[in-house]
Amino acid sequence: MGGGKLNITIPLTWPKAMIIALLIGLAGPAIAQSNDAIHLGVQTCGASTCHGAVQPWQNSTVLQNEFIIWSTHDAHSNAYKSLLSDRAKRISARLGLGPPEQAATCLNCHANNVPAEKQGKNFNIADGVGCESCHGGAENWLGTHVSGVSSRPELVAAGMYPTEDPIARAELCIGCHLPNPDRLVNHRLLAAGHPRLAFELDTFSVNQPAHARIDDDYRQRKPDHNGAKLWAVGQAVSARQQMRGLAQTMSRNANLFPELTFFECGSCHRPFDSAIGADRVRAGLGPGEPQLYDANLVMLRAIADAVDPDIAQRLKNQTRALHRASRQGAGAVARAANELAELADKLATRLNGTPPDRNDLRAILNTLASRQHAAKYVDFGAAEQTTMAVAAILETLGEAPDPGALDQLYDATQSPARFNSRGFANALAQLRESLKK
């Protein structure tokens, strides 16, 4: 969503509020947390007559028990508490950060870390990643929201975050779930003991778990999206953010080493035996050349292959150029990454407007399961993304494959340190067979 040029037609029937929201949206990816409003705190949203009901309400448009779902099933309500754990203390001590629950580096992702003057009287940092971390500071929309008279576009214009839009949602989640320059789980954090971040929009939306009831009433207010659409748009936005993050970090970096969080971990972290060497070559790189993480680009290419062969070819060439650039230096990588970010941005908009249809999804699935493609999944990152992709697509197609194949895919991608590339290739072969039936 680059700012600047405005070449869209706005239907005349739209309320003014929606148009304003659209224009604000064009200014750049908003992070819900950082909107200007005062954040009123989870307690304000979670009152028993609001979103704090014990059971879902039958005659209400929304479930009303979102607070209970969030506080009992959603890891986000635990995000601040995680900073009090021994693991967090160890990570923080190794980095010389002091108490993690006071370190902005940690709080930016593990809580709704807005400045003191933006915290309302019920605000409590210990709530972790609360309602307003995702839905936006409530100061300016709570009034009309409670009165029940405001439409969705009006609420969005008043600062409620457009979580129903796949691009906006992906940007929101990725703000904390993938490496990006503002909130970066960098290689130092990883080496100090922070879990490796992995993200896929559909899987993570389901796992959160979702607290919206998609019914007729919902569809009147908001668009509904199938899992494969969330997956496809999520890949495009992930690729774009990763490439932007890589470009920015490269441009700022004055270290001997580049920021390793943007590389495929398994390039360096695997057992080795100098007598045997490695025949592991991918992405046009030779043995011993660490490879940038490109799993989202690989997925995006499988999507583009089905929906737009021209773009697919450009993606292929530019991805190769990116890997080549990693031999040439930081400036070359930044340029190649920026070009890829632009291409991914185009695809995000396009896939959001016209998601892959059933035929496209079949084609994508066949690509991901193909022998030729499988040969490329010798690293963990692409294997992990393939697994989540296959699950999302099969679910949307309503097809149950050989359950053994899916289980095997999950098994092979349990952990980067124990990644079993042969097991993964076998699982894909089994999937290939089951798709033929």
Give the binding site for ligand HEC (CB under 6 A): 33, 42, 45-46, 51, 62, 66-67, 70, 75-76, 78-79, 82-83, 85, 87-88, 91-92, 95, 97, 100, 103, 105-106, 108-110, 129-131, 133-135, 163-164, 169, 172-173, 175-177, 183, 185, 187, 189-191, 194-197, 204-205, 207-208, 211-212, 218, 221-222, 260-261, 263, 265, 267-269, 290
Nearest distance, CB of residue 110 and ligand HEC, angstroms: 5
Nearest distance, CB of residue 393 and ligand HEC, angstroms: 18
For ligand HEC, the closer CB: 176 or 303: 176
For ligand HEC, the closer CB: 94 or 316: 94
For ligand HEC, the closer CB: 103 or 332: 103
Long-range contacts of 139-143 (CB under 8 A, 24+ apart): 139/37, 139/38, 139/39, 139/40, 140/37, 141/37, 142/40, 142/44
Nearest distance, CB of residue 213 and ligand HEC, angstroms: 6
User: DSSP secondary-structure letter at 291?
Assistant: -
Are the C-beta atoms of residues 349 and 355 closer than 8 Å to each other?
Answer: no
Are the C-beta atoms of residues 321 and 336 closer than 8 Å to each other?
Answer: yes
Here the tokens at position 2 are 């680059």
For ligand HEC, the closer CB: 182 or 407: 182
For ligand HEC, the closer CB: 209 or 331: 209
Nearest distance, CB of residue 435 and ligand HEC, angstroms: 28
For ligand HEC, the closer CB: 65 or 430: 65
CA atoms within a 13 Å half-sphere pointing along the CA-CB vector of 278? 18
Distance CA 122, CA 38 (A): 11
Nearest distance, CB of residue 241 and ligand HEC, angstroms: 12
For ligand HEC, the closer CB: 101 or 345: 101
Q: Residues 6 or more apart from 370 whose CB is under 8 A from it? A: 432
Q: Residues 6 or more apart from 142 whose CB is under 8 A from it? A: 40, 44
Are the C-beta atoms of residues 267 and 293 closer than 8 Å to each other?
Answer: no
Nearest distance, CB of residue 429 and ligand HEC, angstroms: 28
Q: Residues 6 or more apart from 111 whose CB is under 8 A from it? A: 79, 80, 83, 125, 126, 127, 128, 129, 133
Nearest distance, CB of residue 320 and ligand HEC, angstroms: 19
Nearest distance, CB of residue 154 and ligand HEC, angstroms: 14
For ligand HEC, the closer CB: 365 or 409: 409
Distance CA 286, CA 215 (A): 52
Here the tokens at position 200 are 């896929």
For ligand HEC, the closer CB: 195 or 404: 195
C-alpha distance from residue 248 to each of 207, 259, 300, 337 (Å): 31, 11, 22, 9
Distance CA 384, CA 416 (A): 9
Distance CA 291, CA 201 (A): 24
Nearest distance, CB of residue 74 and ligand HEC, angstroms: 7
